[in-house]
A and B are shown apart, each in its own frame.
Chain A
């Protein structure tokens, strides 16, 4: 099946979904499949120069005497990507994806706004309106609206609470991670739901939204049930992120209409004792790499219609600081994984790390606006129309030269 044939904005009939709900809820959704997008936000600003390190540049070792990673072939060395850049050794589980050209990086990528405050920069990346503090909706929400995804369960943010990126007028759902994922909420219990069914039935203002709430929860629970059946047969659960990633992947397989997924991981703000091949950052990256590998494996054939975008609010200083760590910077590396990705290449406009190439003499510059990457995903992967793309990325003219060819 070809992606482009499947996707018709607002196409597949949803009338059946308004009927009273049973366990058939998501079965009725299978007509609504199409390309998927997963966004993974690394909150706290991951050190991109450790994820994809320019080991061929001597300056990299000058700038970072205690935290630079060894060259490929040396002890605990980088995994060679293209004889200029190397991948952090803790991400070894993703290296097969690089070799099979399903993993790409865009270096010196990020938000054009120079702000170095975590929360402001994160907000800008979630609203995709850098510099504008008053945007209330996130770009994934606007994407759901532009794609006419009518049901909350079509767009799911995994985590305890709704992130800004899925806030807005389109219905979206939030689904817990960790142990909370399989914990029943009061509304999951029949007597509770039956009582509220009765008081909300036909309520002129809230009746419909109540039905949607019940349906989306049932859809997600049915999908997570599939995962529990899967995992009961297999090996013991992997820890942490891998566990959540596997569950999300199985939910995506079970429910073809689950099209937009958001994930977040914290713990990247490595000001002190960042470590190199071992230590704080290395441990965190291993967790992330293993989780993404698990995600890919658990998706099965669905991987072929899935793109994973990994972003972080800004990069970190090119030089290490006095505490064997790095401080808030500017440009970073963004990652793209998935069946449709033309991987095996470091994209972007790399201008080196010499003093005069650095932003304000200290940080990797941003030579590719992160919105250009989003725009290309919208166009080439999700087949969004020009007007839909403008809705998602208002007041923005993409420059896709540095990332041309990112999709097959």
Chain B
């Protein structure tokens, strides 16, 4: 079964646009997918917006050096306020970078993979120092590896200060070591457990494995000038047996352990399932997972090969035909933006919307990340919130952007009395024709007819909020 271009767009991008449609018709579905699996550089206008964002261009040590204000000094209200403003600024930069990429990058598959893999290795931006490091984590530890080797991705996250801080391994110290004191006076098994349960093998470990991994990971931590640092003075050098394999102590043994986890058969199974659940179906077909698992093991966790195996499998096209993957709030918001041909220049309203829809960017507290299934996201309240957003965006009430110069084709203004906002400001409704061109045949005739009969500022909104937009 071959993918149609609509299906390829729905499943392998953050949403249809007129340009993307044209691109697929030009290249053909197969070549487009090949291109997507081998992404290149970003276009100049996107690159220009990204350079100069400290949150994603500085490394963790530089971010710490430049923005950290010690807790004691923050008792001074002025410094406290400054710290808060800086953290807020870094958050805005990180979130804007994510939204701009998602909205404007031609390498859409990579953007979906960044969303997926960040969530797989979730960190919570509001836990302590993660407020300085989350943008760096996504840009420097996740993004470069989403089509590379899983072991590289795993190692990059394991060494990144955001992860070391979020899952507390910076504190993990051999209790009887000479340097055990203060916050770092004993074992902390938080990272060791989630590393196995969530990041790699899944629920296939025992408490003894956690205990061994915790001991092995002692001293794998942070140092302010370097970011990551392995500190042998806090390390337990005793050999540990974990998941049936014996590891001697020391830094090289930790790297061996991470590599062992990355290529473990249970990891292959776990990653295959998680990827397929994100891209294919809430309950992905076992034979699809098996196909991906085999490819994972054959390539020792080459993520490009595994992603490709998923896309090429007949189950992928079959599931795409059903068009029944419920969009998460992030994917919905981006699909609406893209169908409207609106580039987010001001990201604040979108950040607020994602918060309203229950998926604040970088705001998942728990290490298991956001769920990817309809059961977790569909509720009456959530649906109302999506429609309120669709109306606000479609009617032009949400100040996200100036319309792109070549897109000035919105219909004449004709706001009815009831749609006039309380505080009138310049607005520019999304044109019905723009959304129709992007979504085209995905919409039933009835929906289009209702939209055409609606008052002009509502016309695009009806399409953007329609049942068909909730799925991909």
Taking Cβ atoms with an 8 Å cutoff, the residues of A that contact B are 117, 119-120, 123, 133-134, 136, 152, 160-162, 164, 167, 169, 171-174, 183, 185-187, 189-192, 195-196, 198-200, 203, 205-207, 209-210, 212-214, 216-217, 272, 323
Contact = CB atoms under 8 A, between A and B. Distances in A.
B345 interface: no
Given A119-B127, A136-B376, 11 more contacts: A152-B381, A160-B356, A162-B358, A167-B358, A186-B388, A192-B458, A195-B458, A199-B450, A207-B467, A210-B383, A323-B75
B34 interface: no
A222 to B, nearest CB: 16
Interface string B340-358: 0000000000000001101
B165 to A, nearest CB: 11
Interface string B449-472: 011001100100110011100110
B375 interface: yes
Given A198-B450, A205-B467, A191 B458 contact: yes
A169 B375 CA distance: 7
Contact of B368 (A133, A160, A195, A217): A133
Contact of A206 (B381, B383, B418): B383
B376 to A, nearest CB: 7
Contacts of B75: 272, 323
A136 B372 CA distance: 12
B391 A212 contact: no
Contacts of B471: 205
Given A134-B368, A191-B455, A196 B380 contact: no
B388 A173 contact: no
A323 B381 CA distance: 44
B365 A161 contact: no
15 contacts: A120-B365, A152-B381, A162-B382, A172-B381, A183-B422, A187-B384, A192-B458, A192-B461, A195-B461, A196-B387, A199-B465, A206-B378, A206-B470, A213-B383, A217-B384
A253 B105 CA distance: 52
Contacts of B284: none
Contacts of A207: 467
Contacts of A119: 124, 126-127, 365
A171 B380 contact: yes
B416 interface: yes
Interface in B416-472: 416, 418-419, 422, 446-447, 450-451, 454-455, 458, 461-462, 465-467, 470-471
Nearest to B383: A213
Contacts of A161: 355-356, 358
Contacts of A190: 418
B301 interface: no
B185 to A, nearest CB: 12
A136 B466 CA distance: 28
B292 to A, nearest CB: 23
B371 interface: yes
Interface in B59-83: 75
A323 B437 CA distance: 62
Contacts of B395: 186
B366 interface: yes
By CB atoms of chain B within 10 A, which of A189, A195, A207 has the most? A195
Query: Chain B contact residues: over half helix, strand or loop, or mixed?
Result: helix
B51 interface: no
Given A117-B127, A199-B446, A191 B454 contact: yes
Nearest to B358: A162
B418 A189 contact: yes
A213 B380 contact: yes
By CB atoms of chain B within 10 A, which of A134, A196, A216 has the most? A196
A93 B422 CA distance: 38
A247 to B, nearest CB: 18
Contact of B391 (A136, A186, A199, A217): A186
Contact of A185 (B124, B376, B388): B388
B392 interface: yes
Interface residues of B, number: 47
B71 to A, nearest CB: 9
A117 B450 CA distance: 51
A191 B418 contact: yes
A189 B458 CA distance: 12
A213 B458 CA distance: 20
A186 B380 CA distance: 15
Enumerate the 3 nearest inter-chain pairs by beta-carbon distance, A residue then B residue, closest first: A213-B380, A186-B391, A212-B380
Nearest to A201: B446
Nearest to B375: A169
Contact of A136 (B371, B387, B447): B371
A214 B383 CA distance: 10
B416 A191 contact: yes
A203 B467 contact: yes
Contacts of B458: 191-192, 195
B367 interface: yes
Contacts of B392: 186
Nearest to B371: A136
Nearest to B197: A134
Nearest to B366: A133
A280 B391 CA distance: 42
B463 to A, nearest CB: 9
B278 to A, nearest CB: 16
B207 interface: no
A183 B421 CA distance: 11
Nearest to B463: A199
Contacts of B388: 185-187
A173 B380 contact: yes
Contacts of B379: 152, 171-172, 209
A223 B138 CA distance: 45
Contacts of A171: 379-381
A202 B380 CA distance: 16
Contacts of B365: 119-120, 123, 164
Contacts of B358: 161-162, 167
Nearest to B356: A161
Interface string B293-325: 000000000000000000000000000000010
A195 B378 contact: no
A287 to B, nearest CB: 21
B467 A209 contact: no
Contacts of A187: 384, 387-388, 391
A206 B450 contact: no
B378 A209 contact: yes
A234 B194 CA distance: 55
Nearest to B471: A205
Contacts of A205: 324, 467, 471
Contact of B450 (A120, A160, A195): A195
Contacts of A216: 380-381
A209 B450 contact: no
B367 A152 contact: no
Contacts of A120: 365
By CB atoms of chain A within 10 A, which of B127, B366, B391, B470 has the most? B366
B203 to A, nearest CB: 10
Contacts of A117: 127
A199 B422 CA distance: 27
A15 B124 CA distance: 43
Contacts of B375: 169
B355 A195 contact: no
Contacts of B382: 162
Nearest to A208: B380
By CB atoms of chain B within 10 A, which of A120, A169, A187, A212 has the most? A187
